Chain A
Amino acid sequence: MTAQAGQLPRKGRWSAAQRRELAWGLLFLSPWIVGFIVFTAGPMLWSFYLSFTNYDPLVDTTDFLGLRNYERVIDDRRIHQSLINTIFVAVLYVPGTILLGLLLAQLLNKVGRAAGFFRTAFYLPNMTPAVAVGALFLLLLNGQQGLVNESIRAVGLPAPYWLEDGPWVKPGIILMLLWSIGGTVVIYFAALRNVPVEQYEASRIDGASAWQQFWKITVPHISGAIFFTLIINTIAALQLFTEIYAMFFGNQQSGSAAAQREALFYVVYLFQQAFQSFNMGYASAMAWLLFVVIVTITIIQIRVSRRFVYYEGE
């Protein structure tokens, strides 16, 4: 950072130049300052307040309920279901992305200039709008004739009903999420290219195996990128909404009952409570609980990773 705190006067009057710098600085920051107050800090406080009420915009009555919303969250069966679903998918999806992402990035790193072509191909699914991903996978995962099941039957395995059969709904969703792994691959590949080649050469002379090289050289050097994707993907997995909602929920209640139970993710349920049942007080309590969970998980991840992450030049 170029800022020199020492330049600032500790006490006493400011010179005209300093006052001008402050005024200009605040002018440049003003869009964000206004936006932060109106669309972040204000709404945070407001939703915190709402979480203790039964606010419903249609009825327009607001009673103070104390902790009742939070007590209801603890007892709500559908919350339990949505938490189980969300955690199940996050626990499989996040490590899955990291491992598959590492594999793909390592492969890209082995083929020299051809990597550019494959990287483009891997990233392409990320450009598909989430609703279109949902529509596409409704077709691909079709139980009778979908492409996925055609392929499974071609190798002689039993093909499940991904969209209707309860236990197969979440695996199908994970499959869909893994299709959009391109962003993670791009991050890892960029990190891999910054690993100093000399270290591999030196270790080869010392007789290190490829496996040892991977764990002792590659992983430490790209640990920053791994850590970054761990946090980003965890937060994203806990807030899954669009693709799922597009596939299984809507006016016509597109999904089967079993599918809607298995695909009820936390934010999907929150959305239903807030904008379909208009229980905005209850939904606010749900939002704050999710916030606390995300902050807790992120802090744990930061703490744990401090021991493992290696930053260049620090």
Chain B
Amino acid sequence: MAVEQTSASPAVAKPVSRPTAATARQQLPFTKLVQRVVYFALLIGFTILFVYPFVWLVSASLKEGSEVFNREIIPDPIVFENYPRLLELVPRFPQWAFNSVAVSLLAAVTVTLSSALVAFGFAYFRFPGRNILFGVLLASMMLPGVVTMIPTFLIWDALGFYNTLTPLWAGNLFASAFYVFLLRQFFLGLPRELFEAARVDGANYLRMWWTIAMPLTMPALIVVFVFELKAAWTDLFKPLIFLQDPALYTLSRGLKAVIDNPSIGGAKEWELLAAAGVITTIPMIVVFFLGQRYFIEGIATTGSKG
């Protein structure tokens, strides 16, 4: 895009300095127009690159097996039967969907509440060692998950939670460093006088946190909630290591099983794989459109604070 501008600017700059200002004024909108057309053309091109695979996946899930790779966007006979057939071949799909919903909601709720509690602790109270602890928290964000993965697995196993859904969310009861960091910024932005008034009225700190600080940070809390909802829904690692019983699978783990299933992925019944992919993805697209503002804001602030 920079090239467009360079080629245009001399053309604009020259006439302005000399003969008639009128020609310059005519040229300016024209080159501007050309630029805008080029920008939009590029953006639309990239949009197609990013969005078309979704359209293609949905379309493939509505085609007959032999037609999956044909070039029609709208399938000629629209075949809805792939979905019932998938449920017939993989009767656990509804159970997996339920597991995913339960795990994701539990993960998101627990991490939002626990991280908000800890973040408020760091933002509001003043005590010796606080800054050291916060430094430790920041440093812990750098630690790659694989370092703690094996002992974490052994801990949950020793507690008797192997092959249960608990390890998929219960770690979130203990707050997450990244979310604590994010929420602390928001709590720091609240004026202290708000709390002093509540103290005079005799509210204890927990009530103060819950009734004053939490409602005022609602947008940030939603950011954390939707981020974690997506993270838990998408996760494959924990379901792979903790779940043995297929009845406990989440949708992500179940989709992996579908890919591996010789009678579906292996025998190349691509339309069923596409249908399974659509079922796994649609809930996240819905969540995105409901919480779009929060996703975008969350990511933008993450980038600028980091």
Which residues of A come within 8 Å of B, CB atoms? 1-4, 7-8, 18, 21-22, 24-29, 31-36, 38-40, 42-44, 46-47, 50, 57, 103-104, 106-108, 110-111, 114, 118-125, 127-132, 134-136, 138-140, 142, 144-147, 150, 179, 182-183, 186-191, 194, 207, 209-211, 214, 224-225, 228-229, 231-232, 235, 238-239, 241-242, 245-247, 250-252, 254, 267, 270-271, 274-275, 280, 283-284, 286-288, 290-291, 294-295, 298
A–B Cβ pairs within 8 angstroms, 16 of them = A22-B125, A28-B124, A32-B118, A43-B152, A46-B151, A107-B39, A107-B42, A118-B46, A129-B252, A135-B273, A138-B265, A191-B304, A209-B5, A250-B259, A251-B260, A287-B150
Q: CB distance A25 to B121 under 8 Å?
A: yes
Q: CB distance A129 to B255 under 8 Å?
A: yes
Instruction: Please name all residues of chain A whose beta carbon is closer than 8 Å to the beta carbon of B69 when the two chains form the complex.
Output: 142, 144-146, 150
CA distance A128 to B128 in the complex (A): 44
Instruction: Please name all residues of chain A whose beta carbon is closer than 8 Å to the beta carbon of B149 when the two chains form the complex.
Output: 43, 47, 274, 287
- Expressed in whole angstroms, the minimum distance between the Cβ of B253 and any Cβ of chain A is 8
Instruction: Please name all residues of chain A whose beta carbon is closer than 8 Å to the beta carbon of B128 when the two chains form the complex.
Output: 8, 22
CA distance A130 to B277 in the complex (A): 10
CA distance A130 to B6 in the complex (A): 41
Residues of chain B in range 225-283 having any CB-CB distance to chain A below 8 Å: 230, 233-237, 240-241, 251-253, 255-256, 258-262, 265-266, 270, 273-274, 276-277, 280-281
Mostly helix, strand, loop or mixed at chain B's interface? helix
Q: CB distance A28 to B281 under 8 Å?
A: no
Mostly helix, strand, loop or mixed at chain A's interface? helix
Q: In the complex, which of the residues B60, B171, B236, B265 contacts A245, with contact meaning CB atoms closer than 8 Å?
A: B236
- Taking the complex as formed, is B143 at the interface, i.e. its CB lies under 8 A from any CB of chain A? yes
Candidate in A57, A144, A187 with the most chain B CB atoms within 10 angstroms: A187
Q: Which 5 A-B pairs have CB atoms at the shortest separation, nearest pair first?
A: A35-B174, A28-B121, A187-B303, A210-B5, A25-B125
The size of the chain B interface, using a CB distance under 8 A, is 111
Closest chain A residue to B175, Cβ basis: A32
- Taking the complex as formed, is B26 at the interface, i.e. its CB lies under 8 A from any CB of chain A? no
- Expressed in whole angstroms, the minimum distance between the Cβ of B276 and any Cβ of chain A is 7
Q: CB distance B236 to A242 under 8 Å?
A: yes
Q: CB distance B260 to A29 under 8 Å?
A: no
Q: CB distance B56 to A252 under 8 Å?
A: no
Q: CB distance B230 to A127 under 8 Å?
A: yes
CA distance A238 to B188 in the complex (A): 34
